[in-house]
Each structure stands twice: as C-alpha cells, then as structure tokens.
C-alpha cells in the first residue's frame, strides 16, 4: 500500500473527502517526523513505537582509494511494532 492508497482507505473508513484525508495523513506523518527529529519517542498503543536511533561515529574506507575516512555520528528513525501488530 502506498500513500495514495492509504489516503483513499482513510477517506473511506472515516467518511472524509480524499483531500481532507490526505491532509490528515500528511499531518500524522509530519508530526511523527518532527518528534523523531527532536529526539522524542512516539508510541502508538497497539501499533508500535517510532524512536530516534543514533549510530556512533566511526572510521570507514573509501572503496576507490582504500583511504580511511571519518564517518560522522548520524541519527535516523527506527520503528518497533507493538506485540498486537506482530501477532497479525
């Protein structure tokens, strides 16, 4: 399912127009992204938890030259499904 299909499903389930459902879906995604960007955890009961995950700085190698390079610390989003979701 892609975002357009999700929007149509939300519109059908809620009785909203597709435009309003699209705005609602966008608002949910933006809110989750902003919270994770602010290094906050978003827990949705029965669905799962979105959390920031930090990867430590490390030394890598340039594959073309073999020269060592520094790879900086990076924060990305992780998702852990709730047990109710896993059971599906």
pLDDT of the residue at 67 = 96
- Check whether residue 47 and residue 77 sit in a common domain: yes
- Check whether residue 78 and residue 47 sit in a common domain: yes
- Check whether residue 47 and residue 68 sit in a common domain: yes
- Check whether residue 56 and residue 79 sit in a common domain: yes
What number of helices (H) and strands (E) belong to the chain?
3, 5
Q: Which two tokens stand for residue 87?
A: 């059971």
| Percent of the chain with pLDDT strictly greater than 70 | 100
pTM: 0.76
- What total number of domains does the chain contain? 2
Q: Which two tokens stand for residue 15?
A: 């009785």
For residue 8, give Cα distances in angstroms to 3, 18, 28, 85: 9, 6, 15, 22
pLDDT of the residue at 16 = 93
Domain extent, residue 8, equals 1-38
Contacts of 49 (CB under 8 A, 6+ apart): 41, 42, 43, 79, 80, 82
Q: 77-88, pLDDT tens digit by residue?
A: 999 999 988 888
């Amino acid at each position: 399912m892609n975002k357009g299909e999700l929007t149509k499903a939300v519109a059908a389930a809620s009785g909203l127009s597709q435009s309003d459902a699209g705005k609602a879906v966008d608002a949910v995604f933006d809110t989750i992204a902003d919270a994770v960007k602010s290094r906050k955890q978003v827990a949705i009961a029965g669905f799962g938890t979105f959390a920031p995950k930090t990867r430590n700085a490390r030394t890598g190698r340039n594959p073309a030259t073999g020269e060592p390079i520094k790879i900086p610390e990076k924060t990305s989003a992780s998702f852990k499904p709730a047990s109710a979701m896993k059971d599906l």
